[in-house]
Structures are given as structure tokens and as C-alpha cells.
């Protein structure tokens, strides 16, 4: 194989990358287990960050963290702009969330997951200068049907029509936050039910795009990093999503504009993650509707992960058993 062929081979992430990434989310999830229900979300997050960072350092790729844990301080912590991987292989943009749902983990509640999303270098929107994003997520039936420019009632009626089901049978996932009180009332007034999430809207968005769940739509204002991460998964699931950045004040808006963001733009999937070669990997920390949490079974530790790839349009579940003594 000549140098040109080799360069072409490693230009884009390939299918083998997914199994390397899942080792990192498994490690983060396992290391978070001692902190489940202990009330210390920061300790849980640190354990997961440290484990994920070690495993990412062994992966065959040149990863640039676009969406990370935060800016670099005295202790490196998967910060925005950090390079990860061994530097050999494809150049990638990375979104990491060692625990999506640190508060859920600390409280011992469901739906905490460890997440990594990957796309080709230069394809992932860096929206880190604006923390929040307004989102609407559905399955493929929502494409060309729902829009953030429509009322929630109109979106529900149009999506119900496209899905050939009554509005009264629709279920909408929404983060349970005071800012969503009016939105929740409007959903119920339109005749649909709500699934209120305490945290972790990545899982909520993914479940809205999956056919085997009871969630038909996920809406509301959540983190913009979680929005970009969800977009990577939606590319593989054939789902639909729109977003619009939601600065909390004039200073944050000005910061977003200075960073080159079109703050008022209605973002489609390709605006959030361009191209069609994304990976999304999530391992359960606690049990939830997306994946089961980590479980100790005798001498073994069991993990469940979901692995999505947009190029092939595949969703795989990875059940792994780890010898517990190796993690002591």
C-alpha cells in the first residue's frame, strides 16, 4: 500500500473506532458506580473523567475535543481544545460527557449515561460560548413537519398526522425545569402527555428518535453541548432535530457573536454536525430507558452500551462482562 492509499484509508474514522470508544465509556461508567446515590456529583464526575481520559489516550485517532468538560485548569479534565488519542489514525472532532446526569448519579436516579460522540475533523459545531440551546427532536416522521418556528400545539398536531396516531397518544419528553412550566402546560393543553426528565436530555432526544420507545418528541431548552452530541446520534438513527442557541443574557449573546456563531439561526442537523460519518457511544451508569446501568454479578461487572454509526445507519448494543478483580 503506497502513502497516498494509506492517507486515504486513515482520513475518516472507520467501524473499528466504535469498539475502541466503547471501552472508554465503559471505564467511565464502571468508575462512577461507587458514587451512585452518595450525594457527591463532583466526585462521581471526577472518577468518570479520569477513567475516560486514560482510555481515550490509547485510541488510534487524532482527536480534538470540541465539546468537553470545560476549560483547562491545573488538572487536565477533557477540556475544550484538548487533543486525545495516540495521534495515529483519522483526525476527528470529539464530544465527551463522562457522565450525562451527574445529579442523577449522585441521587441514585435513573438515566445517567457515559457518552462520546465523534465526527470527521472540522464538522462539529463549537457552540461552547453559549451554554443553552432550544431543541426539538423527533423520529424521521418529523422531517419537514415540525419546526421551532411553530407553536408546540401545531407541532404536535402535525407530527401526530404524519405518524398516523391521535395527539392524545403522543408523549413528549421535557426537562423538568421552571423555565418549561408554560411549555409543559401547552403540551398538555394540546392533548398530549409529558415525560418529565430530571436531567440527561441526550437520552431523551435519542429516545424520541427511536421507534421502540413511547416518546414521540423531545423539546425544550437544554445544554448546547448536549444538543450537538444528540445531533451525532440522530444522524445514525435517521431522526430529525432542530436547534436554536438561547443565550441567557446580552453578554453571552455578544460572546457567541464574537466566536462567529449566528445566534438567531435555526439550526438543522447539518448545521450542528456536517457530513455523514458520525459515531455515538453511550454506556449506562444507572438503569434507564436507553441502556441498563452497571451491575455487579458475582465476580463479574456487566455493562450495556449502545453504539450508533451514521455512515452505515446501524445501532448496536454491546453487552460486556468485566472481571471485577481487574477494576479493584
The b-or-e profile of 41-60 (16+ CB within 10 A means b, else e) is bebbbbbbbbbbbebbeebb
pLDDT band at 4 (very low <50, low <70, confident <90, very high): very low
The annotation status of 157 as a binding-site residue, yes or no, is no
Residue 148 has pLDDT above 90, yes or no: yes
Confirm or deny that 223 is annotated as ligand binding: yes
100 is in an annotated binding site: yes
Alpha carbon 71 to its chain's center: 19
Tell whether residue 120 is among the known ligand binding residues.
Answer: no
Contact 194/187 with Cβ under 8 angstroms? yes
- Residue ranges of domains in the chain, CATH in brackets: 17-122+277-326 (3.30.540.10), 132-272 (3.40.190.90)
> Is 45 annotated to bind ligand?
yes
> What does the mean pLDDT of the chain come to?
91
- On whether 216 is known to bind a ligand per the annotation, the reply is no
Pick from 54, 32, 51, 56: nearest CA to 43: 32
38 belongs to an annotated ligand binding site = no
pLDDT at 135: 97
Is 260 marked within a binding site?
Answer: no
Asked whether residue 177 is marked as a ligand-binding residue, the answer is yes
Residue 10 has a pLDDT of 47
134 known ligand binder: no
Share of the chain above pLDDT 90, in %: 81
39 is in an annotated binding site: no
pLDDT at position 14: 63
Q: In the predicted model, is pLDDT for residue 76 greater than 90?
A: no
Q: Which helix (H) or strand (E) holds 173?
A: strand 171-175
- Which pTM value belongs to this model? 0.90
Q: Is the pLDDT of residue 44 over 90?
A: yes
Closest residue by Cα to residue 134 from 249, 222, 228: 222
Please check if 31 is assigned to a binding site: no
199 is in an annotated binding site: yes
Position 120 pLDDT exceeds 90: yes
The pLDDT of residue 179:
97
The grid coordinates of residue 37 equal 446515590
Amino acid at each position: 500500500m503506497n502513502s497516498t492509499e494509506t492517507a486515504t484509508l486513515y482520513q475518516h474514522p472507520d467501524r473499528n473506532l466504535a469498539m475502541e470508544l466503547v471501552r472508554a465509556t465503559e471505564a467511565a461508567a464502571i468508575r462512577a458506580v461507587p458514587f451512585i446515590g452518595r450525594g457527591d456529583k463532583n466526585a462521581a464526575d471526577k472518577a468518570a473523567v479520569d477513567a475516560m481520559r486514560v482510555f481515550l489516550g490509547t485510541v488510534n485517532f487524532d482527536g480534538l475535543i470540541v465539546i468537553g468538560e470545560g476549560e483547562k485548569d491545573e488538572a487536565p479534565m477533557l477540556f475544550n481544545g484538548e487533543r486525545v488519542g495516540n495521534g495515529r489514525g483519522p483526525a476527528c472532532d470529539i464530544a465527551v460527557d463522562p457522565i450525562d446526569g451527574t445529579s442523577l448519579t449522585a441521587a441514585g436516579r435513573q438515566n445517567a449515561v457515559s457518552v462520546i460522540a465523534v465526527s470527521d475533523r472540522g464538522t462539529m459545531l463549537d457552540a461552547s460560548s453559549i451554554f443553552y440551546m432550544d431543541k426539538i427532536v423527533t423520529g424521521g416522521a418529523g422531517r419537514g413537519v415540525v419546526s421551532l418556528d411553530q407553536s408546540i400545539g401545531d407541532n404536535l398536531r402535525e407530527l401526530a398526522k404524519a405518524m398516523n396516531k391521535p395527539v392524545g397518544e403522543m408523549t413528549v419528553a421535557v426537562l423538568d425545569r421552571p423555565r418549561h412550566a408554560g411549555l409543559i402546560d401547552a403540551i398538555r393543553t394540546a392533548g398530549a402527555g409529558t415525560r418529565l426528565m430530571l436531567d440527561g436530555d441526550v437520552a431523551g432526544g435519542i429516545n424520541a428518535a427511536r421507534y421502540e420507545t413511547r416518546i414521540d418528541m423531545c423539546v425544550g431548552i437544554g445544554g448546547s453541548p448536549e444538543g450537538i452530541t444528540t445531533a451525532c446520534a440522530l444522524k445514525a438513527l435517521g431522526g430529525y432535530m432542530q436547534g436554536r442557541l438561547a443565550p441567557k443574557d446580552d453578554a453571552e449573546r455578544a460572546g457567541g457573536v464574537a466566536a462567529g456563531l449566528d445566534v438567531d439561526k435555526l439550526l438543522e442537523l447539518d448545521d450542528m454536525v456536517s457530513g455523514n460519518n458520525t459515531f455515538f457511544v453511550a454506556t449506562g451508569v444507572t438503569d434507564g430507558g436507553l441502556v441498563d446501568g452497571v451491575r455487579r454479578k458475582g465476580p463479574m461487572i456487566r455493562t450495556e452500551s449502545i453504539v450508533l454509526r451514521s455512515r452505515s445507519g446501524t445501532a448496536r448494543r454491546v453487552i460486556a462482562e468485566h472481571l471485577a478483580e481487574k477494576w479493584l
